[in-house]
Structure 1
Amino acid sequence: MLNADLPWLQAPLAEALARARSHALLVQGPAGVGQLELAVKLAQSWLCEATAPGEPACNHCASCKLFASGTHPDFQLLLPEALDAPMRESLGLPFEEIEVKAGKAKPSREIKVEAVRGLLSFAQATSARGRAKVVVIFPAEALNGVAANALLKTLEEPSGVLRFVLASFDPASLLPTIRSRCQPLPLPLPERDAALAWLASKGVEGAEGLLAATGGRPQQALDWARGGLSDAAWQALPKRVARGEVQALSELAPPRAIDALQRLCHDLVRRSHGQRGQFFAPASLPTPKRAGPLLAWEAELRRASRHADHPLNASLWIESLVAQAQAAIVAAVR
């Protein structure tokens, strides 16, 4: 069975199936709430051969079984090379691991024009089972400029019964011509109780703290928990960083370390203005007296985030980030 069943997606799925007017939908909202899962459930429902149009997939017909096995001839899932295996695995679809050999470039995080050209060949072919053909692109903002332009004509004038679902965390970064050809489908954060119940069903301890730490994004909270991050460790992070403990971040990948520091900085800035933090419990945060050092630190973190995927020396880079954080916090609380 396809692993795309998140309980808070039932209402947006039903609404999308009932109200879709365009051949192309743009699922948009924050990361970690199920954009890809909603997109593939839409695709499966459009291809299902046992239900009426506008109803969700039955999960039992021949088409649904082909879909769940990843072999449906009328479905294409377009992902960046670097995300292909983990995203397919998360959905329960078959995937191939990409072996990175010495001297070879790392798998790309962009969707390149070659992939779109391959997609266009699929788009021009006749539907194998006669129901429809569906393309899911995730995340849509990963389309580089050349790839996005190559997609435009087909997106504007699809052949036959071709449908698209683009899913995006950052729709503003898409070409206006891409956005204008799609019917928007907002996907907000799920209700807190629904998210907590889902996390509890996955065996996540300290779910309430981790959900707050991720800004209400349950999938991200689950990823953090499975990656070994506990609520207690998260709440201890501000004071450990303030003491200059490099070990507080040493086990995190550079992008995750930057993300954690940006959340900490955000909460400290809010606290300096007398507001409650968003990602950390009040008892976990020092009380800054000045916002200036924190705002300067925030700007430095934005610059550092541009290089988070490719630091020259990750351990030295993390050490530098912690020293920078400590200096900003100490200056702010004096």
Structure 2
Amino acid sequence: MNADLPWLQQPLADALVRARSHALLVQGPAGVGQLELAVKLAQSWLCEDRAEGQPACGHCASCKLFASGTHPDFQLLLPEALDAAARESLGLPFEEPDAPKAGKAKPSREIKVEAVRNLLAFAQATSARGRAKVVVIFPAEALNGVAANALLKTLEEPSGLLRFVLASHDGASLLPTIRSRCQPLPLALPEREAALQWLATQGVKEPEGLLDATGGRPQQALSWAEAGLTDAAWQALPKRVARGEVQALADWAPPRAIDALQRLCHDLVRRAHGQPGQFFATASLPSPKRPAPLLAWDAELRRAARHADHPLNASLWIESLVAQAQAAVTASLRAA
């Protein structure tokens, strides 16, 4: 499989030794490998030739089936919108999504009850290879309310040797009844040097800036680099936005544009209080004198984020966001 993230070796080893529950909840910030760790755990539990407490051997019949994406005792449950990209990142077979057609609903970002019902049929069947069966659900917070409730009984009383790994970027948003049935497995940000070395092996040039831009999340930094973002372009963003340059965000998807502006707003508030930037180099940021306009802007960005996936007109929406940002930054630079 392609899910070789070096900073996951120790958490995987710890989980294989310490896991006592049939259901684990892998949780931590996005972009650090929750899904990869969950899948590695599943492969290890299904491996037929591994030593106690060790990860999957990689060469037994079970591991070969797993690597080919055809293991009969493994199920990976993902939202439709993430399915192909997630399977590709794991090195598993996937179907290219159909091009969107007029009038057809977009692939859902939720895990719906129909998918959970199909999963329950798998859960109740006999193990094909006579060992455990494993279900990985990612991101667990994508379970809508009906789907989560449909999962509860099986999660609490699994049949046979059924094991679950729920992987989440936002464990706090899960139903308390889901969380209470799982043994927590926290996953922290990797050490900076390990993340930088990994990004360098992935061909990312000047990874330091992009790693800082993503708050230390190496997978997100790689995704941004693959989308064409450079450190120079990122560091130029504050001044371009302050000048009202719509082109600075014109090629960005609305959710990503909102995310970038929220990071910029966060750093400008820090600068207004005499602190260095967290996501941008301090030298790239203006020096606000008043935080109040920035705090009002932050509230507007949080409201806009709720609609970022479905703007009526993306280009006009981006123009509005940039104009709003310019006004907030300009007001913050004026003397009190």
Separation in structure 1 between the aligned mates of residue 157 and residue 147 of structure 2, nearest angstrom: 17
**Alpha-carbon deviation of 1:96?**
1.1
Partner in structure 2 of residue 61 of structure 1: 60
Separation in structure 2 between the aligned mates of residue 176 and residue 54 of structure 1, nearest angstrom: 30
Partner in structure 2 of residue 138 of structure 1: 138
**Alpha-carbon deviation of 1:54?**
2.3
Separation in structure 1 between the aligned mates of residue 74 and residue 30 of structure 2, nearest angstrom: 24
Partner in structure 1 of residue 266 of structure 2: 266
SS of residue paired to 2:280: coil
**Alpha-carbon deviation of 1:101?**
2.1
**Alpha-carbon deviation of 1:130?**
1.4
SS of residue paired to 2:85: helix
> Which residue type is aligned with residue 15 of structure 2?
A
Separation in structure 1 between the aligned mates of residue 118 and residue 10 of structure 2, nearest angstrom: 34
**Alpha-carbon deviation of 1:206?**
1.4
> Which residue type is aligned with residue 240 of structure 2?
R
> Which residue type is aligned with residue 242 of structure 1?
A
Partner in structure 2 of residue 12 of structure 1: 11
**Alpha-carbon deviation of 1:246?**
0.4
Q: Is the 8 A contact 1:46 1:53 kept in 2?
A: no
Separation in structure 2 between the aligned mates of residue 227 and residue 98 of structure 1, nearest angstrom: 19
Structure 2 unaligned regions, length at least 5:
none
What's the TM-score once normalised by structure 1's chain length? 0.99
Q: How many residues align?
A: 333
Q: Which moved more, 1:99-108 or 1:120-129?
A: 99-108
> Which residue type is aligned with residue 298 of structure 1?
D
What's the TM-score once normalised by structure 2's chain length? 0.98
Point out 4+ residue stretches in structure 1 off by more than 4 angstroms. none
Partner in structure 1 of residue 2 of structure 2: 3
> Which residue type is aligned with residue 329 of structure 1?
V
Deviations 1:267-287 (A, max 9, x none): 001111111111000110000
Partner in structure 2 of residue 83 of structure 1: 82
Alignment RMSD? 0.6
Partner in structure 2 of residue 30 of structure 1: 29
Partner in structure 2 of residue 43 of structure 1: 42
SS of residue paired to 2:332: helix
Deviations 1:154-181 (A, max 9, x none): 0000000000000001001000000000
Deviations 1:97-130 (A, max 9, x none): 2313221100000000000000000000011111
Q: Which moved more, 1:299-308 or 1:94-103?
A: 94-103
SS of residue paired to 1:235: helix
SS of residue paired to 1:166: strand
Deviations 1:122-158 (A, max 9, x none): 0000111112100000000000000000000000000
Deviations 1:21-51 (A, max 9, x none): 0000000000000000000000000000111
Separation in structure 2 between the aligned mates of residue 131 and residue 44 of structure 1, nearest angstrom: 12
Alignment of 1:124-203 (within 5 A): 124-203=124-203
Deviations 1:170-222 (A, max 9, x none): 00100000000000000000000000000011110110000000000000000
Structure 1 unaligned regions, length at least 5:
none
Q: Is the 8 A contact 1:267 1:277 kept in 2?
A: yes
Deviations 1:242-287 (A, max 9, x none): 0000010001100000000000000001111111111000110000
SS of residue paired to 1:54: coil
**Alpha-carbon deviation of 1:78?**
0.1
> Which residue type is aligned with residue 220 of structure 2?
Q
Alignment of 1:247-258 (within 5 A): 247-258=247-258
> Which residue type is aligned with residue 71 of structure 1?
T
> Which residue type is aligned with residue 210 of structure 2?
L
> Which residue type is aligned with residue 218 of structure 1?
P
Separation in structure 2 between the aligned mates of residue 119 and residue 11 of structure 1, nearest angstrom: 30
Q: Is the 8 A contact 1:213 1:280 kept in 2?
A: yes
Separation in structure 2 between the aligned mates of residue 17 and residue 107 of structure 1, nearest angstrom: 35
Partner in structure 2 of residue 94 of structure 1: 93
Identity of aligned residues (%): 86
SS of residue paired to 1:109: coil
Separation in structure 2 between the aligned mates of residue 182 and residue 160 of structure 1, nearest angstrom: 17
